[in-house]
Structure 1
Amino acid sequence: MDLDEIVVVALGGNLAGNFVSSEALLEAAVAKLVEAGLPVLARSGWWRSAAWPDPSGPEYRNGVILVEANRGPDALLNTLFQVEAAFRRTRGRKNAPRTLDLDLIAYGRLVQETPGLTLPHPRAHERRFVMGPLAEVAPGWRHPELGRTAAELAACATIGADAHPVSRS
């Protein structure tokens, strides 16, 4: 797998919706993305972290998947929004609890800033709940602008610094 050409999608949420758990919802979201024609090349385990910026909210579950770039970045973002809608994601107050959040973190080495999409994601490198799972599956992935690896970024991420893998039973 060429790390310079992979697409990184982050998944997260802290409301289970109609599912027994947030992990079950995220598993269903991964299946829905595959059903939508996005081949998953690799995926992290699920990570847990306190709600941010208000830690009194429900705990989050997060992870990343690496997918094949079989459509352009705008079309891919549209697919992510469609899958969020299928899981009753509503966009209201910023950082509010949510069933599902899908973020396009990186599209290969592409660097772009348009009104609808900035690549790489402008804040992902600061978030341990993104960089930790990415370092789990692609520690040598390099940020297209910063040049640092996922492992390096995970080690110094300041947002969600409490993020850690969910223990597997």
Structure 2
Amino acid sequence: MKVPTEIPEGDLDLDGAVIVALGCNDKGVWASCEESLEAALARFRAEGIDVLARSSWWSSKAWPDPTDPPFLNGVVIVRTAHDPAALMSKLARMEDVFDRRRSERNAPRTLDLDLIAYGRLSGDLDGLILPHPRAAERLFVMGPLAEIAPEWRHPTIEGNAAGLASGAAVGVDARPLRR
């Protein structure tokens, strides 16, 4: 899927950005987690989700249990007509299609899709908390986001993606793979 890996200044209203994080540490039926994540991205359009920009894939130790297989993570900025609840439902259904098992919290997963932000919305929207309550502290989320939109400002806390990435306390070993 050919999409920009960096957003030219002024080409996207970052205040209205819809941000989705992707992750995998169990390749499932795919040859690799990278292949699984690329297949997930290819499916976005069929779900009514257009990818406007994407980060590179970042590798990190599993968290909170570093003995689990390592993670591959990335972030995309998307455009969609789905409201936050409908978008989250689409993302959950995609995880199911990719055989995501929810046996225990933070268990290895074939696909993990998190809605990080939906514009400037904040608060508990019928059980969906926006922005994602722990994204700002995770380098494997803020690092990829800083790659494509370093000036994106968090809706509820002080800081942009670049600053939050430099201060992240979780997943500090996260590093981009070479493209």
How high is the TM-score relative to the length of structure 2?
A: 0.92
Partner SS, residue 68 of structure 1: strand
Secondary structure of 1:20's partner? coil
CA displacement at 1:42 relative to structure 2: 0.4
Aligned CA-pair RMSD: 0.9
Q: Which amino acid aligns with 2:34?
A: E
Indicate whether 1:18 and 2:29 are aligned. yes
Counterpart mapping for 1:49-128 below 5 A: 49-128=60-139
Letter in 2 for 1:82: R
Q: Give 1:116 deviation, angstroms.
A: 2.2
Deviation at 1:119, TM superposition (A): 0.2
- The amino acid of 1:57's aligned partner reads D
TM-score when scaled to structure 1?
A: 0.97
Letter of the structure 2 residue corresponding to residue 133 of structure 1: P
How far off is 1:37 after superposition? 1.2
- Residue identity matched to 1:38: I
Question: How many equivalent pairs are there?
Answer: 168
Which AA in structure 2 matches 1:71? H
- Tell me if structure 2 keeps the 8 A contact 1:69–1:107: no
The one-letter amino acid paired with 1:112 is G
Amino acid at match of 1:110: L
Are the counterparts in 2 of residues 6 and 69 from structure 1 also a CA contact under 8 Å?
no
> Which one of the candidate residues 130, 149, 156 is aligned to 1:145?
156
Q: Which runs of 5+ in 1 are unaligned?
A: none
Q: Distance in 1 between matches of 2:25 and 2:150?
A: 26
Q: 1:130 to 1:30 in 2, by over 3 A?
A: same
Where does the alignment leave 5 or more consecutive residues of structure 2 unmatched? 1-11
Which contiguous aligned blocks of 4+ residues in structure 1 show a shift greater than 6 angstroms?
none
The answer on whether the counterparts of 1:8 and 1:105 sit within 8 Å (CA) in structure 2 is: yes
1:39 and 2:44 matched: no
Q: Residue 48 of structure 2 contacts residue 80 of structure 2 at CA under 8 Å; is this kept in 1?
A: no
Query: Which letter does structure 1 place at the counterpart of 2:22?
Result: L
Q: Deviations over 1:67-112 (max 9, x none)?
A: 0141100000000001101100111211111100000000000012
Partner of 2:40: 29
Which residue in 2 is equivalent to 1:165? 176
Shift of 1:115: 4.5
Q: Distance in 2 between matches of 1:9 and 1:143?
A: 14
Name the SS for the 2:15 alignment partner.
coil
* Structure 1 residue aligned with 2:5: none
